[in-house]
Structure 1
Amino acid sequence: MDILTFDDFRDYAEIRSRLSKEGFLSDGTSVLNLWEDLPTMVEGLDVPDVGQDFVDFAPLATWSGPVKELDGPHTRRARYAVDGTLLQVDHFRTDGSLLLSDRHDAQQHGVHGGRSLILCNDEGLPLRHFGSSWGLYRAWLEFLIGDAAAWFVVDNKNTARFMATFRRDSAVVLYVVHESHLMSHADGYASELTPSAQEVFPHLDRFDGVVYLTEHQAADVHRRYADAGNSFVLPNSRSIDAEADRSRRRTPGRGIQVATLSRRKRVDHSIRAIHRVRSSSDLAVQLDAFGDGSQRDALQGLISQLGVGDFVRLRGHSKQIRSEFQTASFSLLTSTSEAMGLVLVESMAAGCIPIAYDVPYGPAAIIDTGVNGFIVEYGNVEKLAECIESFLALPEDEQLTLRVAAMERARDFSDHSIVSRWAEVMREAWERKHRAPVALTVSITSTDYCVRSGGRLGIQVLAQVSSSDTALPETPSFFCAMRARQQQNFFRVEASEAVVTGEGAYRLQFDFDPAVTRSLRPSTVDFTLEARCAGSHATTRMPLHGDPVSLQVYATRHGSMSMVLS
């Protein structure tokens, strides 16, 4: 397995050395970097691309203005506009020859706009032109894989934007969703997407597979976009000790929290809960919070304000978290959201009982409350304190039963178990990608709609599906998409009813939840019908048949129903 990186400012020789010393790089695992590989990649490019005149090629050696040297593992020089906007970066080999000239003012010299990246030979002469960094990235990936089969597992939301555009017959691209895709859960599955999800999630169909860490998150995404057949659920994994020490002595009232000290992790809730337990009982409870972040000073101020400094401590980063879990009695998770929360598995594997808010999406997928841990009402500090107090008041033998059950549950997330499931997913994604394509077309012969009380929208469609092949290998699946104009945002539902009415003819019913129409307001939306069969799909805009009467139903100030016709 190769770990691929694209940044140009880190020293990867040092990173590899550190990872090897810490045991994270094993035989067969390597870290590859685009900028380290570019000189080797260029050696295979003998002549410039035919037809390219490289009109944008203007290396800094021809520039008479000020140039700034940039820090990093290889030589880079840059020029800037008067206002500090970056206009160009030239990259050099170790021998000082020009490797790549990257202009950000390709449309007009000195004015930010347009991109031009030109790869050069060891004499500094242009060989290849790319109109975007993504073009360069794709060229590197093609250089790496050649004609071989390859599987790309993308676990970075920024890289996912680019990798959604990388389509090759020999390459399977799998995107792993590592965090909640929603800003909040005020409107459930139809809530506002996070900024990164807004850029990636409308294009999930482009990936050969999308991997979610929990069934709950997968279900929420499917309610938003429907399941196009490329979804998988695989939790994160960890190495599990062959036999954990169940009789290890623990500090009875000691809790720990492992989290970035940010607003999203809400460590202040844990501090307030510990304060409540101390104030309402004689339990010698204490909390060690491991991690660092922007809220450290604010949290330290809260500790001082509550007077809990003797038993609540901010411990900073630690590389010995496993041993901390092994000596603590319980752990806390108070985040606003998680995709899974591997820290819960870490805690349970050590027999440290997790107490977690019922946040989307992780805790409920891992913890059986009262059996191997506890789930508490979302955001309720009082309930959190009560749960801590109740757990610590349990007899030691009942606590031990919980600890043993937690250790057993953690084994479900072992590397051995999850890696074998990854092999199945990768095989299935490959087979799905290489199914024989079907020449599919879909047309619409009739449409109707109904807006029910409460805002539920129903759409009825008579559709015809055909193929140039003699017969479709399976019954098509049908979807209707509602997309807001000038926006990425859309919702898609699968047909709630699909009735065969003739050869290739179907009567379809689609139902949109009121949460969808609320989420898209105010906007003008368009509708699309999509048919999928054997890995192929066809789409068509949805016409409105019949009398095109526009109506608006509304409630008067007295709550009576009225209608505007136009």
Structure 2
Amino acid sequence: MKNVIFITSRLDEKHGGLTASLLNKVRILNENKNLISTILTFHAASEFNQVKSTIMQRYNLYKKVKIYNINEFFRSRCLTAPEKKYDINTEIYTPVKVNDTKYEYYHLGVKVLEIFYRNRQIKEVRHFNQSNVCFQKDVIDNDGYLYWRSYYLNSQLSRQIFFRRDLTPFLTREFDAINKSDKIKSLVLFEKETIRFNTFNDFKAYFINFFIEKPITYLVGEARSIDPVILNIKDECIRKIFMTHSIHIRPGTDIIRAGNRHVLSHLNDIDALVLLTNKQKEDIDRRFGVRSNYYVIPHSIKIPTITEKREQNKVVIISRLHKEKRIDHSIKAFAQVINKIPDAKLHIYGEGEEKENLQKLINKMGLQNNIKLKGYSQQVNKILQSADCSLLTSQYEGFALAVQESIANGTPVIAYDIDYGPSDMITDGVNGYLVEKNNIDKLSHSIIKYLKKTTKEKKIYSTAAINKARQFSNEQFSNNWFFLFDSIKKKSPNMNPIITFFNINRSKFNKHKYYLNLQIRLNKEINRVPLFKASFLHKSTLINREKTKIDFIEPHTIRQNNNCFTLKFIFDIRQFKKHETYLTSIIIQDHDQYFDLPITINNYELDTKSLSFKKCKVLINTEHNTLQFEL
């Protein structure tokens, strides 16, 4: 049986799509492959056991997954005395009822306590000093036991002590209260052996190690905050897998999102990167190099039974009403639709911060009779089945679950061709339309075009939508994950290549040609020749990585031994664009590893003056000591 551990930051009763996808994943893998996996979490939650029970029931997970929390795990160990429930003596204080869940307690006119109740049980007790400043807070679990006690310095959290049910402490967390920081400075774990940790991440790694088993344990990082922890665990029997749930580029920029940088800057040190769409994989290939350990595993979906009759000219949106969803684009486009199809209607389902602004826009454009904000609904399948088509006009998506749900219900989708998701599920003109992003006129044109189709034509689109959705079955989803597990059983050591020798000469007979020779050494012996390329990056295109231009030269490769290779190639300036500076590097690609090594002139003497002439200057970047050509 495979030992698969999914690692996330927290598990809440009310949770978003990331947690939902994880919980559905472990259920599907159990039902299709009999895998009993493990989920690890790290948040402090006094109601964790109750939340876990609720989630296990909601997602039908009993006997299908094991869920552990770092605090509950250590809290249940090393009990040395009888259990003792929390008790506080308030007899000498004067109680003042604030409301049904909060009481204040006074002594000689000074407030000394605030006690909060839930279901008539004490949940939290706050202690106050003479200056009415809270200096201590006690948190009690649902069974009436003290869970943790927080201490404050000038209202800033300074220390937390976590308790077992026998009232013995099992963990202390120290905070940098003097500098008004909520960052944990250190932790001390009190068990048979007392252990001090310098960082919370060190403590997390210690916890994870309890679940690592030979011969192979698969660690799947589900939350970006956990990535550094997994990356730093050193154990030959683990395989490190990282799940991508969203875009890796900051919207509207070419900047890698901070949370994604840990993994994307260590791609040679991981065993697998899981992506939701082919389009995102293509972007990762382009930015970080082609590797064999990128796996596209989209979310799965079950095809529902069609029970509703479609209403002609009805269009729907199911979405959070947030700015990045750009529902206003759909409203503006629909104003043009109504001019051509007066009885067309757009029903928008969802809640969010933009609801009031969207209603104002509808009113301002006089569209109240055709466009309705319908609020949140759990009847997703009924809503989609009742519509001719659905819309998606987001700025970006990690996968676009709304598209998948729509096509599974046989409802074609008209969507902006954004990153990422729509193009993986919509075949333009077959089961919907892909529209140039931000083009409201083209969006309205596509809606009109579809609504004007005959019933027979719409039926063809609907059938095509369901057929496309069948590609995302639970069975295929499970097969994809197990293919990944089997593919990375054998661990590939990092090559860590270095350039050990370099020289460059200009032809005596043809001054336009430069002859470059390099020697590359790997830190492991391999029985094959990696793919080598000489890379010449156009410096002027560095501003936007989406449009970066690179020219490649295939070198002549000579194997010296199993870990040393000589590369020879010719840089002919006549083959390159003029008025450009070229940054040089060597690309090395071998299965799951990809390296882009700048050609550096560290220990080699280079007479750039004699190598240069009117049409080409040979340069050395003074900051990085790298070779460049300026034409």
What TM-score bracket applies, with the shorter chain setting the length?
0.7 to 0.9
| Counterpart for residue 116 of structure 1 | 186
- Pick aligned residue for 2:274 from 189, 211, 217: 211
Asked whether the equivalents of residues 88 and 104 of structure 1 are also in contact (C-alpha less than 8 Å), the reply is yes
Counterpart of 1:277 in structure 2 is: 337
Preserved contact between residue 479 and residue 493 of structure 1 (Cα < 8 Å):
no
**Alpha-carbon distance between aligned partners in 2 of 1:239 and 1:248, rounded to the nearest angstrom:** 17
Aligned to 2:136: 68
Alignment of 1:223 onto 2:296 = no
Q: Which amino acid aligns with 2:152?
A: Y
Residue type matched to 1:390 in 2? K
More displaced, 491-500 or 207-216? Answer: 491-500
Q: By how many angstroms is 1:382 displaced?
A: 1.4
For structure 1, the residue ranges without an aligned partner over 5 or more in a row are 45-62, 451-457, 512-520, 554-560
Deviations 1:439-487 (A, max 9, x none): 876433215699xxxxxxx996612336675xx31112458899x9xxx
Match of 2:556 among 499, 502, 514: 499
Q: Counterpart of 1:97?
A: 168
The alpha-carbon distance between structure 1 residues 8 and 394, as it changes in their structure 2 partners (threshold 3 A), is same
* 1:313 partner letter: K
Answer whether contact 2:137 2:151 (CA < 8 A) is retained: no
Aligned residue type for 1:75: Y
Separation of aligned partners in 2, 1:131 and 1:459: 52
Note the C-alpha offset of 1:117.
Answer: 0.4
- The one of 159, 166, 180 equivalent to 2:226 is 159
Give the aligned partner of residue 445 of structure 2. Answer: 386
Structure 2 unaligned blocks of 5 or more = 1-36, 81-128, 507-513, 572-580, 621-631
Amino acid paired to 1:217:
Q
Q: Compared with structure 1, are the counterparts of its residues 408 and 328 closer, same or farther at alpha carbon in structure 2 (3 Å cutoff)?
A: same
297-306 or 332-341: bigger deviation = 297-306
Aligned-partner Cα distance in 1 for 2:468–2:422: 13
Q: Secondary structure at the match of 1:193?
A: coil
Decide whether the 8 Å contact of 1:212 with 1:233 is kept in 2: yes
Q: Who is 2:500 aligned against?
A: 444
Residue equivalent to 2:194 = 127
Alignment partner of 1:238: what SS? coil
Query: Is structure 2 residue 407 aligned with structure 1 residue 348?
Result: yes
One of 454, 475, 479 as aligned partner of 1:416: 475
1:126 and 1:480 map into 2 onto residues whose CA distance is: 55
SS in 2 for 1:75: strand
Question: Displacement, 1:228?
Answer: 4.0
SS of aligned partner of 2:167 = coil
Measured against aligned partners, the alpha-carbon deviations of 1:346-382 in whole angstroms (never above 9, x if no partner) come to 1001011111001012111111111111111111111
1:301-322 CA-partner distances (Å, limit 9, x unpaired):
2222222233323333322212
Residue of structure 1 aligned with 2:359, choices 300, 304, 313:
300
Matched, 1:475 2:529: yes
Deviates more, 1:374-383 or 1:90-99: 90-99
Q: What is the CA distance between 1:345 and its match in structure 2? A: 1.3
Q: Name the stretch that deviates more: 254-263 or 369-378.
A: 254-263
Tell me the distance in 1 between the aligned counterparts of 2:297 and 2:74: 34
Q: Distance in 1 between matches of 2:266 and 2:217?
A: 21
Contact 2:324-2:395 at 8 Å conserved across structures: yes
Following superposition, the deviation at residue 261 of structure 1 comes to 1.6
Looking at structure 2, the residues matched to 535 and 358 of structure 1 have their Cα atoms a distance apart, in angstroms, of 30
Larger radius of gyration: 2
CA contact (8 A) 2:249 2:255 kept: yes
Aligned pairs for 1:115-194 (under 5 A) are 115-121=185-191, 127-147=194-214, 149-184=216-251, 191-194=254-257
1:232 matches 2:286: no
Letter in 2 for 1:120: F
Distance 1:446 1:313 in 2: 69
Percent sequence identity over matched residues? 23
Q: TM-score, normalised by structure 2?
A: 0.69
Counterpart in 2 of 1:464? Answer: 520
Structure 1 residues 276, 441: CA separation in 2 closer, same or farther (over 3 Å shift)? closer
Q: Say if 2:213 and 2:237, in contact at 8 Å, map to a contact too.
A: no
Name the SS of the counterpart of 1:409 in structure 2. helix
After TM superposition, give the deviation of residue 401 of structure 1 in Å.
Answer: 0.6
Other-structure match for 1:518: none
| SS of the residue 1:115 aligns to | strand
**Equivalent position of 2:97 in the other structure:** none
- The alpha carbon displacement at 1:282 in A equals 3.3
Residues 534, 19 of structure 1: CA spacing in aligned structure 2 closer, same or farther, 3 A cutoff? closer
Root-mean-square deviation (Å)? 4.2
**Partner residue in 2 for 1:60:** none
Distance 1:87 1:410, change over 3 A: same
Q: Tell me which residue corresponds to 1:337.
A: 396
Change (3 A) 1:402 1:526: closer
Using a 3 Å threshold, how does the CA distance of structure 1 residues 441 and 329 change in structure 2: closer, same or farther? closer
Structure 1 stretch 303-312 or stretch 352-361: which is displaced more? 303-312
The 1-side partners of 2:618 and 2:557 are apart by 36
Flag the 1:9–1:447 CA change in 2: closer, same or farther, 3 A. Answer: farther
Amino acid paired to 2:554? E
Cα distance, 1:276 vs structure 2 = 2.1
Give the TM-score of the pair, scaled to structure 1. 0.76
Distance 1:536 1:42, change over 3 A: farther
Number of residues of Structure 1 aligned to a counterpart in Structure 2: 499
For residues 183-229 of structure 1, the C-alpha deviation after alignment (integer angstroms, 9 at most, x for no partner) is: 2466xxxx222232345422333321101122221121122111244
Q: Contact 1:102–1:118 (CA<8 Å) still a contact in 2?
A: yes
Distance in 2, matches of 1:459 and 1:185, equals: 42
Distance 1:563 1:426, change over 3 A: closer
8 Å CA contact retained: 2:585, 2:597: yes
Give the match for residue 316 of structure 2.
256
Query: Is residue 292–residue 591 contact of structure 2 (8 Å, CA) maintained in 1?
Result: no
CA spacing shift, 1:111–1:33, aligned 2, 3 Å: closer
Q: Is the 8 A contact 2:558 2:567 kept in 1?
A: yes
- TM alignment of 1:392-411, pairs within 5 A: 392-411=451-470
**Contact map agreement 2:341 2:448 (CA 8 A) in 1:** no
Residue in 2 aligned with 1:32?
A: 68
Q: Deviations over 1:160-197 (max 9, x none)?
A: 343232342222221121111112466xxxx2222323
Is the 1:478–1:494 contact (alpha carbons within 8 Å) kept by the matching residues of 2? no
CA shift, 1:526, in A, is 10
Alignment-mate amino acid for residue 476 of structure 1 = P
Residues 260 and 537 of structure 1: is their aligned pair in 2 closer, same or farther, counting only changes over 3 Å? Answer: closer
Task: Quote how far apart the aligned CAs of 1:419 are.
Answer: 1.2
The answer to whether 1:201 aligns with 2:257 is: no
